[in-house]
Amino acid sequence: MITRRLFCGCIAGGLPFAATAAHAQSPECAVFTKDRQKSTTPDDAIARLKAGNERFVAGKSVNCDLMAQVKQTAGDQWPCAAIVGCIDSRVAPELVFDQHIGDVFCARVAGNIVDVDILGSLEYATKVAGAKAIVILGHNFCGAIKSAVDDVKLGNITALLRNFQPALATLTKADGHRDSHNDALVQKVAEANARLTAASVTRRSPVIKALVDAGQLKIAAAMHDVTTGKVTWLA
Ligand SMILES: [Zn+2]
């Protein structure tokens, strides 16, 4: 594998051997192949994302030769996971999980909701393309969640915010005044949204439910902290 990567790196990048050797030394830069994806379990896929976030938080993200990876994945893709994240500029999944070319599918939409188009995308990512895990990635101080809490009415945002009704329904009087300045309340809704969205996937997709029931796929919810970069996995 090392030999193959060195070969591809030199040919692809047109760089001297010494320049690509540093990239080739990191096993994290090995692109996913059909066999590697097949031998990856759902737990392996989740563990890979956890390890990637630990590197990110520690400031030790791997500096892969991306153009070498472009060449190596040009013919096909065998990603290990699919991530649904918010459009928020601070939560790019590939950066947060320290993933690279061909590693993960990413769907991004305000408030990391799953509508029919995202659901179809997840079916493609898993049933068709073989990804082993789905992660619904929420985050703190989310503008979409704040807007839902404040019941904003604006253009097509109004329709988008209807997706947060199940999460808003988890609020009780004990959560205090429903206002986006109530940080604890906003966080509760964001976490509920990630959990409920993750739980809704198998309920709404028999295709994905069959993969989960067969042990070929796991679905997880997680929260990214935009103040620390750390991802916390929700039970
Ligand atoms: Zn957001």
Distance 51 CA to ligand 1 centre (A): 23
Distance 137 CA to ligand 1 centre (A): 10
Q: What is the pTM of this model?
A: 0.89
Quickly tell me which residue has 């404040």 as its tokens. Answer: 150
Distance 179 CA to ligand 1 centre (A): 16
Quickly tell me which residue has 């060195």 as its tokens. Answer: 6
> 71-97: per-residue pLDDT in tens?
999 999 999 999 999 999 999 999 999
Distance 12 CA to ligand 1 centre (A): 37
> 193-206: per-residue pLDDT in tens?
999 999 999 999 99
State the CB neighbour count (10 A cutoff) for residue 75.
6
**Number of DSSP helices (H) and strands (E) in the chain, helices first:** 12, 5
Q: Band the pLDDT of 26: cuts 50, 70, 90.
A: confident
Q: Please report the pLDDT score of residue 1 as a whole number.
A: 41
Q: Band the pLDDT of 25: cuts 50, 70, 90.
A: low
Q: What is the distance between the alpha carbons of residues 62 and 90, in angstroms, rounded to a whole number?
A: 19
Q: Which residues surround ligand 1, an ion (CB under 5 A)?
A: 86, 88, 142, 144
Q: What is the distance between the alpha carbons of residues 180 and 194, in angstroms, rounded to a whole number?
A: 18
Query: Is residue 212 predicted with pLDDT exceeding 60?
Result: yes
Distance 66 CA to ligand 1 centre (A): 27
Of residues 31 and 24, which shows the higher confidence score? 31
Distance 88 CA to ligand 1 centre (A): 5
Q: Please report the pLDDT score of residue 39 as a whole number.
A: 96
Q: Please report the pLDDT score of residue 13 as a whole number.
A: 40
Q: Please report the pLDDT score of residue 24 as a whole number.
A: 52
Give whole-number Cα distances, 151 to 118, 180, 188, in Å: 24, 10, 16
Distance 108 CA to ligand 1 centre (A): 10
Query: Is residue 31 predicted with pLDDT exceeding 80?
Result: yes
> 116-174: per-residue pLDDT in tens?
999 999 999 999 999 999 999 999 999 999 999 999 999 999 999 999 999 999 999 99
